[in-house]
Amino acid sequence: MKIKTILVGCLLVLGSIQIATAQDDLQDILDREQNKTSDYVSPAFKMTRVAFGHSTEVRNQGVLELFTATRFWNFPGDRSESFVADKVTTRIALEYGITDRLSFGVGGTTFDGLFDGYLKYNLVSQNKGEKNNPFNITLFQGASYNSSSIPNPLVADDFSDRLGYTTQLLVSRRFSPKFSFQVAPTFVHKSLGLSNADNNNFFALGFGARYKLGPHLELVSEYYRTLNPIDSFNTYDPFAIGVNWEVGDILIQLMLTNTRNMVEDTFITQTRNNFNFKDPNLHFGFNATYVFHLSNKLKKK
Amino acid sequence: MNKLTLIVLLLFGLGITSNSKKVIARQGQVSFFSYTSVENIKAENNQVLSIIDLEEGTIAVDMLMNAFVFEKALMREHFNESYIETDIYPKATFNGRIEGFDAQQQGTQVKIIKGAFTMRGVTKDIEIKTKIENNNGGYMLSGTFETFVKDYNINIPPLLAGNIAKSIEVNFKFEYQPYEN
């Protein structure tokens, strides 16, 4: 009788263990199966710009972005009669995803009278798993037309003289869920210099980084090093530090920077203030993007 | 002594059932909908894994959250980066049991599945009414249930509170085939 009770007890214990392991087994089998599937890695940067310069991120097909960027700064001096800020410049642009990898944009800036356009092509997206790509690689080609009046009669200013071109190879990697880094070798051809003595071709190296502060907020910083700056004026390397904030279809970037120009060829070669907190060197920057989805399909990417 | 033999036999029998027949679904479909007056959000995942132990009546589901695709392209990025945080919580899983499941019964049966659903590190006990179809061993499970966003500590900015429904409708459909070890 006693033996029977013990054995029944043993049976019950064994039975329950087996049921428990059966549950775990199912999950283990699925864990093994799961390793064969998805390789999606979230983009290194959430927005198409790090701060003032482009990031590797491109928009999907049918996504239209209305992009507005403003920079505010003050003149030096004790007294100022201006409302909010002494000077303001605005760039308004439309940017559209032609395919999931190719996007283009056109825009105009008030302060320097630059009209610009670009094409951006995402060559490689970061992936893990079978197609293991450690980097995002995006090609950028931009062109700009300078419409501002040029008082110096010695400077040739035909249509072709007013054009500027920027070619960039943007390479980024999402190192961890919080941290991404970008390197951007850049070539700029600027037909119109600040004086005739200046060279027209420039090489620069851009660096950008992102650190995620919270689910919707990230800290960003960007810097471009111009390797052969112009001689006729003192120019400085553009730098920015700021936060990017995302609320659904509205993307907002706030930054402190030393560049007031917003088109690549100009801010890389002709930033004439260094980064410090004195007027007129400190610029407060505000970029707001509104996203329209023009084709609402479930995407199989 | 006879009783002892019987018990040994019983144990032996239990040993056999632990190697019992399983069926697996590798391309299960899970979709979810959020309906509000401001915005409708729809997403779909076609790579959900599920397995059923036919004799035990146990079921497990395993899905990668970053495999969800959205009607609005940018939402996938927001979903992964800002809401589910798939870098930290890549998966959602379900472990449960089909109550009163009869694997042999042909045709359609409607059963309750009771189990634990885990997402974003939060585990909730849920019950799902499920339609089970059996065509000569080809099993298909489908159903709908509602789940609450607040249960999973998902951070929604107050500005967007009107865009995301408090209760999310989840639909699922799994087609199973025999699983060989």
Q: Which domain holds residue A277?
A: 63-293
Pairing of strands A87-97, B138-148: unpaired
Residues of B in contact with A62 (CB under 8 A): 73
Residue B15 binned pLDDT confidence (cut-offs 50, 70, 90): very low
**Which residues are CB-contacts of A35 (< 8 A; sequence separation ≥ 6)?**
none
Q: Which residues pair with A196 in a beta bridge?
A: none
Query: In angstroms, rounded to a whole number, what is the distance separating the alpha carbons of residues A256 and B142?
Result: 54
CB of B56 within 8 Å of a chain A CB? The answer is yes
Q: Are A275 and A176 members of one domain?
A: yes
Whether residue A177 lies inside any domain: the answer is yes
Of B4, B47, B56, the CB nearest to A19: B56
Residue A71 pLDDT exceeds 90: yes
On the question of pLDDT at A18 being above 90, the answer is no
- Chain A hits for B72, CB-CB cut-off 8 Å, are 293, 296
Phi, psi of A130 (to 5 degrees): -65, -50
pLDDT category, B17, cuts 50, 70, 90? very low
**B161 burial class (0-12, 13-18, 19+ CB within 10 angstroms)?**
exposed
pLDDT band of B16, cuts 50, 70, 90: very low
For chain B positions 81-110, those within 8 Å of chain A (CB to CB) are 81-83, 85-88, 91, 93, 95
Q: Name every chain A residue with its beta carbon within 8 A of the beta carbon of B74.
A: 59-60, 63, 249, 291, 293
Please tell me the predicted confidence (pLDDT) of residue A25. Answer: 79
Q: For residues B43 and A146, what is the distance between their CA atoms, to the nearest angstrom?
A: 45
- Rounded to two decimals, the pTM is 0.80
Do A78 and A112 have their domain in common?
yes
Q: Which of B179, B114, B121 is nearest to A25 (CA)?
A: B179
Q: Which residues contact B103 (CB under 8 A, 6 or more apart)?
A: B21, B54, B55, B57, B134
Residue A212: pLDDT over 90 = yes
Helix (H) or strand (E) holding B121: none
The domain of B172 spans 21-178
Is the Cβ–Cβ distance between B20 and B55 less than 8 Å?
yes
Q: Note whether A114 and A13 are same-domain residues.
A: no
Q: Are A174 and A268 part of one and the same domain?
A: yes
Which residues of B are less than 8 Å from A60 in CB distance? 73-74
Whether residue B12 lies inside any domain: the answer is no
Same domain for A243 and A112?
yes
Q: Are residues A24 and A125 in the same domain?
A: no
What are B145-175's pLDDT values in tens digits? 999 998 998 888 888 888 899 999 999 999 9
CB-CB contact of B69 with A299 (8 Å): yes
Mean per-residue pLDDT, B8-26: 63
Instruction: Compute the nearest-CA separation of A76 from chain B (Å).
Output: 38
Report the number of distinct structural domains present in chain B.
1
Work out the average pLDDT over B40-65: 91
Residue A188: CATH number of its domain? 2.40.160.40
Q: Which residues contact B167 (CB under 8 A, 6 or more apart)?
A: B146, B147, B148, B149
Selected residue of A36, A216, A294 to mutate for chain B interface (largest B Cβ count, 10 A) = A216
User: pLDDT at residue A11 above 80?
Assistant: no
Q: Chain A contact for B21, CB < 8 A? A: no
Disruptive mutation site among A39, A180, A210, A298 for chain B (greatest number of B CBs within 10 Å): A298
Q: What's the mean pLDDT in A26-31?
A: 83
B73-110: per-residue pLDDT in tens? Answer: 888 889 998 899 888 888 999 999 999 888 888 889 99
The whole-chain average pLDDT of chain A stands at: 86
Q: Give the model confidence (pLDDT) of A122-181 as tens digits.
A: 999 988 877 788 999 999 999 999 998 877 777 777 888 889 999 999 999 999 989 999
A22 contacts B53? CB cut-off 8 A: yes
In a domain, B52, yes or no: yes
Mean pLDDT for chain B overall: 86
Least confident of A5-19, A234-248, B28-42: A5-19
CB atoms A29 and B51 under 8 Å: yes
Domain match, A33 and A67 both? no
A88 within a domain of the structure (yes/no): yes
Q: Is residue A39 pLDDT above 80, yes or no?
A: no
pLDDT category, A292, cuts 50, 70, 90? very high
- CB-based contact A50:A68 (threshold 8 Å): no
Q: Is residue A266 part of a domain?
A: yes
pLDDT for A14 equals: 56
Q: Which positions in chain B touch A29 (Cβ < 8 Å)?
A: 22, 24, 51, 60, 179
Angle subtended by helix axes B2-18 and A2-34, to nearest 10? 10
Instruction: Tell me which chain A residue has its CA closest to the CA of residue B46.
Output: A300
User: B120 touching A, CB under 8 A?
Assistant: no
pLDDT over 90 (residue B135) = no
Question: How much of chain A exceeds pLDDT 90, in percent?
Answer: 51
Asked if residue A183 belongs to a domain, the reply is yes
pLDDT-based confidence at residue B5 (cuts at 50, 70, 90): low
User: CATH number of the domain that B153 lies in?
Assistant: 2.40.128.110
Shortest alpha-carbon distance between residue A105 and chain B (Å): 18
Residues A190, A232, single domain; the answer is yes
Is residue A46 a contact partner of residue A246, using CB atoms and an 8 Å limit?
Answer: yes
A33–B26: do the CB atoms touch at under 8 Å?
yes
Q: Residue A34: which of B49, B70, B72 has the nearest Cβ?
A: B49
Mean per-residue pLDDT, A15-19: 51
Q: Which residue pairs from A131-135 have beta carbons closer than 8 angstroms and sit at least 24 positions apart in sequence?
A: A131/A39, A134/A173, A135/A171, A135/A172, A135/A173
In a domain, B9, yes or no: no
Residues A103 and A238 in one domain: yes
Q: Do B18 and A21 touch (CB under 8 A)?
A: yes
Cβ atoms B128, B145 nearer than 8 A: yes
| Share above pLDDT 70 across residues of chain A, in percent, rounded to a whole number | 88
pLDDT, tens digit (0-9, with 9 covering 90-100), for B55-75: 888 999 999 998 899 988 888
Residue B1 inside a domain? The answer is no
Distance CA B21, CA B178 (A): 8
Specify if B10 maps to a domain.
no
Tell me how many domains chain A contains. 2
Residue B28 lies in a domain: yes
Cis peptide before B157 (omega within 30 of 0): no
Q: Using CB atoms, pick whichever of B14, B53, B81 lies closest to residue A26.
A: B53
pLDDT 10s digits, A179-200: 999 999 999 998 877 677 788 8
Q: Is residue A23 located within the same domain as residue A121?
A: no
Contact assignment for B71 to A216 by CB distance below 8 Å: no
Count of helices and strands (H, E) across chain B:
2, 10
